[in-house]
């Protein structure tokens, strides 16, 4: 070891690195050095012995190191309702099953336990940051901290009461209180999260817009998910939801519009001109028969398109690799062009595009010097990922979440050779069994 070697916490030596930025790059035989939660060097592995002295040096043959996935739309606690009401259209699914179940069971403990289950699943699949829209954000945040995952928590608002809040002002007050209480936590950020155009009034949207501007927070909202949503908006407001948002001044670089399935060319241009982001949730859109988002059109207008799983109650898997593969395949079919959404661009959507939508692209989403070390290692040595002609293609079209072996969040190795560094998995099964019994007993009685 050279006398002038730099002391670092971690030195990771994979076979390949996909930095995401610059785009379309695969670095062979490069290493990443981490110190104090940040990436301090991206360099040829042959320089390791002369440049660095690491407390933890990790050699990962036949692995790709890349940024962790950013799951840009979830309802994490709803993982406890996975499989509860399947094979139904959105409004029947919500009105007849999900909202009644939430009325019965949702509490601070439900949210904590359900979010912990979701965090464990996401980490095992390579997600290092998730954007959540649900109730009791303080308890969701506590679960995320316990799991060691980065979370962007929604200050969720709807017009009607539930077990969490009585009215829009109560939702806002409690969400802002949670933000204040978690303000010093390095893994926690917030968004304003009005649920949807059909559950939030103009008055409330206007207040949310003011708060988002004052606090410099993104606005995370469902938009143009179903034909019914648009038909109801035309009846009630005389305009489609995106036009309504434009009138209210909500279209901006801060807007994170989830789904955008039924969106026309004029609306695409409006979102593009205002710099708004879209979150694509293909599995949920298919399972609820909502439709096919025109991703190719959005990308050609240079709209920032990220990937989200939606909740496990409407997807059943919080699996970003599966979601991104499906997004790539669907985009080609909808466009009728095999060139639409190639592998490197799909990886960008699953990482840096999500970070950008959340206002975190200066911190995460790519492997760059000075950014936080939110990283994942994917094993390509298995039978299912051989032969290997194109690393990015192999990740998107052949690998699965079971190929993720190691995960770092904020420089901490939270998943080591597929095992959690802490004991969260020891309690998750017990907590999940408790809630399963409660829900089944209620359904049976």
Whether 319 and 215 map to the same domain: the answer is yes
Domain count, the chain: 2
Whether 329 and 386 map to the same domain: the answer is no
Whether 391 and 246 map to the same domain: the answer is no
Whether 51 and 129 map to the same domain: the answer is no
pLDDT for 422 equals: 79
Please give the C-alpha separations between residue 371 and each of 24, 26, 361, 364, 366, in angstroms, as whole numbers.
19, 19, 9, 6, 8
Whether 97 and 28 map to the same domain: the answer is no
pLDDT for 445 equals: 64
Name the token pair of 329.
């395949």
Shortest CA distance to 378 belongs to which of 353, 357, 350? 350
Whether 205 and 269 map to the same domain: the answer is yes
| Tens-place pLDDT, residues 399-421 | 999 999 999 999 999 999 999 98
> Taking the CB of residue 388, how many other CB atoms lie within 10 A of it?
15
Give me the helices (H) in 154-240, please.
168-181, 202-215, 227-237
Name the token pair of 271.
């979102």
Query: Residue 80 sits in a domain of what CATH number?
Result: 3.20.20.140
Q: What is the extent of the structural domain holding 57?
A: 6-67+373-410
Whether 193 and 220 map to the same domain: the answer is yes
Query: Residue 45 sits in a domain of what CATH number?
Result: 2.30.40.10
Whether 398 maps to a domain, the answer reads yes
pLDDT for 3 equals: 62
Spell out, as residue ranges, where the chain has pLDDT lower than 70. Answer: 1-3, 444-445
The DSSP code for 372 is B
pLDDT for 441 equals: 86
Shortest CA distance to 51 belongs to which of 7, 17, 12, 9? 7
pLDDT for 25 equals: 98
Whether 347 and 402 map to the same domain: the answer is no
Does the predicted model carry a pTM greater than 0.85? yes
Sign of CA dihedral 156, 161, 164, 166: positive
> Taking the CB of residue 206, how many other CB atoms lie within 10 A of it?
13
- Where do we find the tokens 């959105």? 90
pLDDT for 421 equals: 85
Whether 416 maps to a domain, the answer reads no
pLDDT for 334 equals: 97
Q: What angle do CA 157, 162, 165 make, to 5 degrees?
A: 55
């Amino acid at each position: 070891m050279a006398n002038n070697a730099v002391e670092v916490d971690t030195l990771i030596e994979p076979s390949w690195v996909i930095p995401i930025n610059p785009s379309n790059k695969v670095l062979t035989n490069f290493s990443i050095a981490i110190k104090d939660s940040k990436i301090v060097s991206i360099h040829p592995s042959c320089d390791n012995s002369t440049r660095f002295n690491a407390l933890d040096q990790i050699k990962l043959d036949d692995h790709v190191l890349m940024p962790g996935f950013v799951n840009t739309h979830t309802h994490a606690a709803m993982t406890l309702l996975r499989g509860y009401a399947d094979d139904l259209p959105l409004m029947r699914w919500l009105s007849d099953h999900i909202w009644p179940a939430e009325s019965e069971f949702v509490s601070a403990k439900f949210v904590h336990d359900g979010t912990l289950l979701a965090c464990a699943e996401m980490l095992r699949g390579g997600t290092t940051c998730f954007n959540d829209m649900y109730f009791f954000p303080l308890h969701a945040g506590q679960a995320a901290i316990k799991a060691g995952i980065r979370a962007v928590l929604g200050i969720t608002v709807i017009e009607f009461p539930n077990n969490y809040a009585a009215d829009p002002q109560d939702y806002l007050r409690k969400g802002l209180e949670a933000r204040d209480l978690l303000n010093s936590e390095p893994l926690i950020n917030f968004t304003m999260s009005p649920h949807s155009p059909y559950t939030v009034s103009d008055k409330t949207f206007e207040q949310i817009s003011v708060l988002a501007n004052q606090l410099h927070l993104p606005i995370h909202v469902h938009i143009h998910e179903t034909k019914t949503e648009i038909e109801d908006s035309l009846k009630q407001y005389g305009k489609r939801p995106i036009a309504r948002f434009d009138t209210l001044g909500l279209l901006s670089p801060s807007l994170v519009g989830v789904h955008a399935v039924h969106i026309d060319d004029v609306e695409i241009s409006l979102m593009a001109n205002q710099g708004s982001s879209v979150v694509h949730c293909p599995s949920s859109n298919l399972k609820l028969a909502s439709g096919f988002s025109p991703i190719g059109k959005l990308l050609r207008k240079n709209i920032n398109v990220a990937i989200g799983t939606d909740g496990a109650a409407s997807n059943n898997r919080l699996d970003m690799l599966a979601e991104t593969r499906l997004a790539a395949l669907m985009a080609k079919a909808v466009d009728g062009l095999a060139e639409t959404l190639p592998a490197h661009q799909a990886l960008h959507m699953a990482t840096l595009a999500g970070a950008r939508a959340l206002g975190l692209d200066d911190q995460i989403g790519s492997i760059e010097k000075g950014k936080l070390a939110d990283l994942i290692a994917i094993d390509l040595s298995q039978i299912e990922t051989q032969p290997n002609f194109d690393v990015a293609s192999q990740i998107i079209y052949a690998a699965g979440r079971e190929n993720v072996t190691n995960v770092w969040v904020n420089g901490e190795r939270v998943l080591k050779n597929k095992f959690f560094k802490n004991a969260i998995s020891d309690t998750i099964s017990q907590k999940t069994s408790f809630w399963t019994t409660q829900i089944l007993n209620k359904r049976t009685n």
